[in-house]
Amino acid sequence: MSLVTLNSKIQTTLDSVNELAIIYDRPLERTEQISGFPAAVYYYQSFTNDFETNQENLKEYIYTIVLIQEVRQKGMEAAHGTVMAGLIDAVVDQFDADWDQGASAEGHRIWWRLTGGDINVFEEHAGLLISAELSLSIKLITND
């Protein structure tokens, strides 16, 4: 199983979320300006490999997905309660649609879990931004 394959699968899924203006497949540098909103940033976080049987391994890849929205476009209440909530729903719905019912990568069956984390407000070059952090856990059994 390769990270390149998983990166491509995540990119394809996020590309299908109509609400997203731009997607970054790497952590952003502190000085980097986001070129559109709402934005998604995703990147590989960690990897584990446990014995499932004496012939198979249970691998788990963890990714972070951060959704970012400008506050000034809609105001804080709408950015938090409507736009960000709708954006999270759209991303979760797209993963449900693309990855359920037999999702696979390189011939391996994928089990996945998308969970939510902190919602933060912070000041950047574009002004006040709101972000929601999601964690994507991808599990698969291999006999590699």
pTM comes to 0.87
Are the C-beta atoms of 91 and 14 separated by less than 8 Å? yes
With bands split at pLDDT 50, 70 and 90, how would you rate the model's confidence at 29?
confident
Task: Report domain extents, the chain.
Answer: 3-142
Rounded Cα distance between 76 and 73, Å, is: 9
Token pair belonging to 89: 């729903």
Are the C-beta atoms of 134 and 64 separated by less than 8 Å? yes
Q: What's the pLDDT score for residue 58?
A: 85
With bands split at pLDDT 50, 70 and 90, how would you rate the model's confidence at 16?
very high
Token pair belonging to 105: 């990568």
Q: What angle do CA 55, 60, 62 make, to 5 degrees?
A: 165
Query: Which whole number is the average pLDDT over 5-23?
Result: 94
Phi then psi dihedrals of residue 79, to 5 deg: -60, -40
Q: What's the pLDDT score for residue 108?
A: 76
- pLDDT tens per residue across span 68-94: 988 876 677 766 677 788 899 999 999
For the chain, percent of residues with pLDDT exceeding 70: 90
Rounded Cα distance between 22 and 143, Å, is: 37
Q: What's the pLDDT score for residue 66?
A: 96
- pLDDT tens per residue across span 91-137: 999 999 988 756 777 777 788 889 987 888 888 776 888 899 999 99
- pLDDT tens per residue across span 38-74: 999 999 999 988 876 777 788 899 999 999 988 876 6
Regarding the domain delimited by 3-142, which CATH topology (the fold level of the hierarchy) does it fall under?
STM4215-like (3.30.2000)
In the chain the beta strands, taken as DSSP E runs, fall at: 22-24, 39-51, 57-70, 104-105, 108-124, 127-142
Residue 127 neighbours by CB under 8 Å, 6+ apart: 70, 71, 72
Tell me the torsion sign for CA atoms 53, 114, 26, 5: positive
Residue 55 neighbours by CB under 8 Å, 6+ apart: 143
CB atoms within 10 A of CB 38: 25
